[in-house]
Amino acid sequence: MLSSLGTKSVAVRTPDDLAGIDAIILPGGESTTISMLLESSEIFGSLNQMIGEGLPVLGTCAGMILLANEVSDGRRDQKSFEAIDISVRRNSFGRQIASFESDLKVKGLEESFRAVFIRAPGVEKVGDSVEILATVDSDEQTGVPVLCRSGPILVSSFHPELTADSRIHQIFLSLIK
């Protein structure tokens, strides 16, 4: 997706890979595993400092969980960057079999965005510094925030990379100075 927008990207696997980056995407996946890998690769501390100093971050699905101040249904040993004032619940919309797609009205976009939710976290609380950019309705919950921003941090419950629509990534790239 980033290449299609004319942006160069690099994989970050070691602390040395952080040198010179202008922003980072924390992708979907299994948040406890990603947390453990960030620790075992010794990236967590340096990246935490960079985020605290204003590094733009896009966190999708598991990335949202890793950036949240508070996580429900997580493991006690799971670390978070506590970079955005939200409380999230892991698998808020159900297990893998409950995955779904939804057309979202996103603040700042004229047309809806087709979002793909896979074992998605849901935002349960939002702090005053957080702007809600989109919500989703489901059978059990109404108006659950699924796209939020605070300063240079953008988080989504869904996977914007699983569509051909680059507008969420464009919003993220606009945060990079």
Q: How far is CA 69 from CA 12, 32, 109, in A?
A: 23, 15, 27
Active-site option among 39, 124, 161, 169: 161
Clarify whether 39 is annotated catalytic. Answer: no
What is the rounded CA–CA span in Å between residue 112 and residue 104? 5
> What is the torsion angle, in degrees rounded to the nearest 10, for the CA atoms of residue 105, residue 100, residue 35 and residue 80?
40
> What is the torsion angle, in degrees rounded to the nearest 10, for the CA atoms of residue 65, residue 86, residue 134 and residue 167?
-50
Clarify whether 169 is annotated catalytic. Answer: no
By CB atoms closer than 10 A (0-12, 13-18, 19+), residue 134 is buried
Active-site option among 61, 111, 140, 169: 61
- From the list 24, 44, 35, 33, the residue with the least C-alpha distance to 155 is 24
Active-site option among 39, 124, 148, 159: 159
| Catalytic center residues | 61, 159, 161
